[in-house]
Amino acid sequence: MKVFEGLADIRHELENAERKFPNFPTDPVHAAAIVGEETGELTQAALQFTYEHGNYAALYKEAVQVGAMVLRFLLNIDNFIGRPSNNAEPVQLNTTQKG
């Protein structure tokens, strides 16, 4: 594979993600969590490739998705604020529940 093919696939994936999810978190915690979630899927694909005779296409697809989300993180880094994102879903804590 040539590097420019991989970069073209990352760019295409980034464009698809921006169309599907136009809002990106405005705080680095939620933005990094998106990158981490994709990285976890790449790790799973790598484990399946290595130990379960997984396929190259799935491994490549996940690596492209990680690259696209890292690029999206970097493209949005100047918009990050030091508080929870307006684009994040609020979490309701149940303080009455006993552990």
pTM of this prediction? Answer: 0.80
Question: What tokens appear for 90 in the block?
Answer: 């609020």
Location of structure tokens 């290595």 = 50
Q: Is residue 80 within 8 Å of residue 32, measured between CB atoms?
A: no
User: Which pLDDT does position 4 carry in this prediction?
Assistant: 87
79 sits in the region (left: phi over 0; alpha: psi -120 to 50; else beta) called alpha
What is the tens place of the pLDDT at every residue in 16-50? 999 999 999 999 999 999 999 999 999 999 999 99
What is d(CA 13, CA 44) in angstroms, rounded to the nearest whole number?
Answer: 19
Q: What is the pLDDT of residue 81?
A: 87
Tell me: the pLDDT tens digits for 50-82? 999 989 999 999 999 999 999 999 999 999 987
